[in-house]
């Protein structure tokens, strides 16, 4: 006979035990165990088994890489070229960043491109709230079904009945399974509900999007195991005070995780930004000290960004070094190289670095523009805004080549750049193939000479 029993689950890492513990032996968190009721299996209960046998690899037939477009090319790109039927996709992001907006727009896109119906399950908002949003976004398709429901059993029943072509669950932390006695959002609930949604997605071969909340630290709330279960994990990020939103894949079983999608939040919903360089350079029309145009590549896309540096005398105590958008350790390293090789002493100066538009740059190709911005602010000498900079700088002050200079220059030409300062090693590859003036530099000393004394 089946009997319910209690187990204790660490809310941090999902570790399970049959008795309460003060400290999790797995992740070391204190006071993180919560009680959960689970259905026990009694003697004589049937044990579910799957009677499958192994198949030889060449004998497995796969359907040709079939993907459904969401009609939002930025989202399609991040997903690896569209939605894969049967895929379970988790999307996380700060409150109010636009997760519901993005998925409602994606649902409308899929409905339009595939001709099937789409189900939007909202456990957070009422139907009228979702309808108001849809009206604002100009979505009014009779193929979109809305459901305000919180139990996974009922949600799965509706999916069974309506057979939609795509499902959106908003959000995983607010739905629950009746069989478990713990509250919605706890590790057990999140794991159980996602496992059932996974089963449904794979079984019915429909894509299921799950919205997940993020914690204060910025990681997805709930167990880490959630990220393992799903096929794709997307993060929707950006500064809420600014209109730009960046969609990034951190895990993707069907595509690269290097691609990003850029959106702008407007009163009519999220608008795709097809040409990011234009946006990130939009306010740039004059040359001012400390501001430099740089080139970066995210995935397969090059774009231009503005890097700003501010060097001011320290008024009190230890000099401050603050960097937003570029790794602070990298900036410290570049300052050290500038001091030792360039002979510029930042010792008694506060240094601030910022990337305009709230972008995070991880490429070492931004070393060169960061250095130029620092010296430009230090010496109060403006750098021409129509000059583009990229290149890596080594510890001995050498300027190292970077990947894909051609596509960087192509993008720069499109945005009206006139000159480029790049590593000497990259110069030959691009010279004569661009209308821009190309200046190659071998070392930091040569760079400073060309930019500030040339």
Ligand X SMILES: Nc1ncnc2c1ncn2[C@@H]1O[C@H](COP(=O)(O)OP(=O)(O)OP(=O)(O)O)[C@@H](O)[C@H]1O
Footprint on residues 31-60 left by Mg ion (CB under 5 A) = none
Q: Can you tell me whether residue 306 is helix, strand or coil?
A: strand
Q: In this complex, which beta carbon is closest to ligand X, that of residue 173 or of residue 291?
A: 173
Q: Which helix (H) or strand (E) holds 151?
A: none
Q: In this complex, which beta carbon is closest to ligand X, that of residue 120 or of residue 389?
A: 120
| Structure-token pair, residue 350 | 């506060």
List Cα–Cα distances, 215 to 189, 212, 221, 278, in angstroms. 17, 10, 5, 33
By CB under 6 A, name the one of 267, 285, 317, 347 that touches ligand X.
267
Q: How many residues bind Mg ion (CB under 5 A)?
A: 1
Asked if 376 is part of the footprint of Mg ion (rule: CB under 5 A), the reply reads no
What is the C-alpha to C-alpha distance for residues 434 and 386, in angstroms, rounded to an integer? 15
Stretch in the footprint of ligand X (CB under 6 A) among 95-103, 146-154, 369-377, 389-397: 95-103
Antiparallel, parallel or unpaired: β 387-389 and 291-298: parallel
What is the C-alpha to C-alpha distance for residues 106 and 405, in angstroms, rounded to an integer? 34
Residue 101 touches which member of ligand X, Mg ion, none, C-beta under 5-8 Å by kind: ligand X
What is the C-alpha to C-alpha distance for residues 184 and 189, in angstroms, rounded to an integer? 6
By CB under 6 A, name the one of 80, 87, 93, 325 that touches ligand X.
93
Nearest-Å Rg of the Cα atoms of the chain is 27
The closest of 276, 207, 226, 274 to 92, measured between CA atoms, is 226
The closest of 288, 272, 376, 363 to 326, measured between CA atoms, is 363
Stretch in the footprint of ligand X (CB under 6 A) among 79-87, 94-102, 114-122, 433-441: 94-102
Stretch in the footprint of ligand X (CB under 6 A) among 97-105, 185-193, 309-317, 327-335: 97-105
Asked if 217 is part of the footprint of ligand X (rule: CB under 6 A), the reply reads no
By CB under 6 A, name the one of 98, 109, 358, 397 that touches ligand X.
98
- Omega into 171 within 30° of 0, i.e. cis? yes
Stretch in the footprint of ligand X (CB under 6 A) among 98-106, 278-286, 341-349, 381-389: 98-106
Q: In this complex, which beta carbon is closest to ligand X, that of residue 206 or of residue 247?
A: 247
Asked if 100 is part of the footprint of Mg ion (rule: CB under 5 A), the reply reads yes
Asked if 393 is part of the footprint of ligand X (rule: CB under 6 A), the reply reads no
Q: How far is the CB of 266 from ligand X (least distance, A)?
A: 6
Antiparallel, parallel or unpaired: β 208-213 and 166-170: parallel
Phi, psi for residue 306 in degrees, rounded to 5: -105, 125
| Structure-token pair, residue 139 | 């979505």
Q: In this complex, which beta carbon is closest to ligand X, that of residue 26 or of residue 264?
A: 264
Q: Is 257 exposed, middle or buried (0-12, 13-18, 19+ CB in 10 A)?
A: middle
Residue 155 touches which member of Mg ion, ligand X, none, C-beta under 5-8 Å by kind: none
Stretch in the footprint of Mg ion (CB under 5 A) among 55-63, 96-104, 296-304, 390-398: 96-104
Q: How far is the CB of 357 from ligand X (least distance, A)?
A: 16
118: which DSSP letter?
A: E
Q: How far is the CB of 150 from ligand X (least distance, A)?
A: 15
| Structure-token pair, residue 235 | 């993060």
Residues in the chain: 454
- Cβ neighbours around 22 below 10 Å, total: 8
Q: In this complex, which beta carbon is closest to ligand X, that of residue 202 or of residue 271?
A: 271
Q: How far is the CB of 259 from ligand X (least distance, A)?
A: 21
Taking the alpha carbons of 51, 54, 56, 57 in that order, is the dihedral positive or negative? Answer: positive
Are the CB atoms for 98 and 245 separated by under 8 Å?
Answer: yes
Stretch in the footprint of Mg ion (CB under 5 A) among 49-57, 99-107, 176-184, 386-394: 99-107
Q: How far is the CB of 124 from Mg ion (least distance, A)?
A: 6
By CB under 6 A, name the one of 97, 172, 373, 375 that touches ligand X.
97
| Structure-token pair, residue 356 | 């305009």
Asked if 138 is part of the footprint of ligand X (rule: CB under 6 A), the reply reads no
Q: How far is the CB of 119 from ligand X (least distance, A)?
A: 17
Summarize as ranges the residues that interact with ligand X (CB under 6 A).
93, 95-101, 124, 136, 265, 267
Summarize as ranges the residues that interact with Mg ion (CB under 5 A).
100
């Amino acid at each position: 006979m089946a009997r319910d029993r209690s187990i204790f689950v660490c809310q941090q890492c999902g570790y399970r035990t049959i008795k309460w513990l003060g400290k999790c032996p797995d992740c070391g968190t204190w006071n993180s165990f919560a009680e959960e009721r689970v259905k026990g299996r009694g003697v004589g209960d049937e044990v579910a088994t799957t009677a499958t046998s192994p198949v030889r690899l060449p004998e497995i037939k796969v359907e040709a890489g079939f993907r459904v477009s969401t009609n939002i090319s930025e989202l399609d790109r991040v997903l690896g070229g569209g939605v894969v039927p049967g895929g379970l996709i988790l999307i996380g992001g700060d409150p109010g960043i636009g997760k519901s907006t993005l998925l409602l727009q994606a649902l409308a896109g899929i409905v339009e491109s595939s001709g099937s119906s789409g189900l939007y399950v909202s456990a957070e908002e009422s139907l009228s709230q979702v309808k108001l949003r849809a009206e604002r976004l100009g979505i009014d398709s009779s193929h979109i079904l809305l459901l305000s429901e919180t139990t996974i059993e009922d949600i799965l029943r509706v999916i069974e009945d309506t057979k939609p072509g795509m499902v959106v669950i908003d959000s995983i932390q607010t739905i629950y399974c009746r069989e478990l006695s713990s509250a919605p959002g706890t590790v057990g609930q999140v794991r159980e509900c996602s496992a059932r949604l996974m089963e449904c997605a794979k079984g019915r071969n429909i894509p299921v999007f799950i919205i997940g909340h993020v914690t204060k630290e910025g990681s997805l709330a709930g167990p880490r195991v959630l990220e393992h279960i799903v096929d794709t994990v997307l993060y929707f990020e950006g500064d809420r005070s600014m209109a730009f939103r960046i969609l990034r894949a951190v895990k993707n079983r069907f595509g690269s995780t290097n691609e990003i999608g850029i959106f702008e939040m407007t009163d009519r919903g999220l608008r795709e930004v097809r040409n990011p360089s234009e946006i990130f350079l939009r306010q740039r029309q004059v040359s001012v000290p400390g501001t430099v145009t740089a080139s970066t590549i995210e995935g397969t896309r090059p774009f231009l960004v503005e890097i700003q540096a501010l060097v001011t005398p320290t008024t009190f105590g230890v000099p401050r070094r603050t960097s937003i958008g570029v790794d602070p350790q990298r900036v410290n390293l570049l300052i050290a190289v500038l001091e030792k090789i360039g002979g510029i002493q930042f010792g008694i100066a506060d240094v601030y670095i910022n990337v305009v538009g709230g972008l995070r740059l991880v490429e070492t190709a931004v070393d060169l523009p960061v250095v130029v911005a620092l010296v430009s602010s230090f010496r109060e000498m403006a750098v021409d805004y129509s000059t583009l900079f990229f290149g890596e700088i080594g510890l001995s002050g050498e300027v190292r080549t970077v990947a894909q200079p051609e596509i960087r220059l192509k993008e720069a030409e499109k945005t009206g750049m006139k000159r480029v300062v790049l590593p000497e090693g990259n110069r030959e590859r691009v010279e004569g193939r661009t209308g821009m003036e190309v200046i190659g530099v071998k070392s930091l000393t040569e760079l400073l000479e060309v930019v500030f004394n040339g």
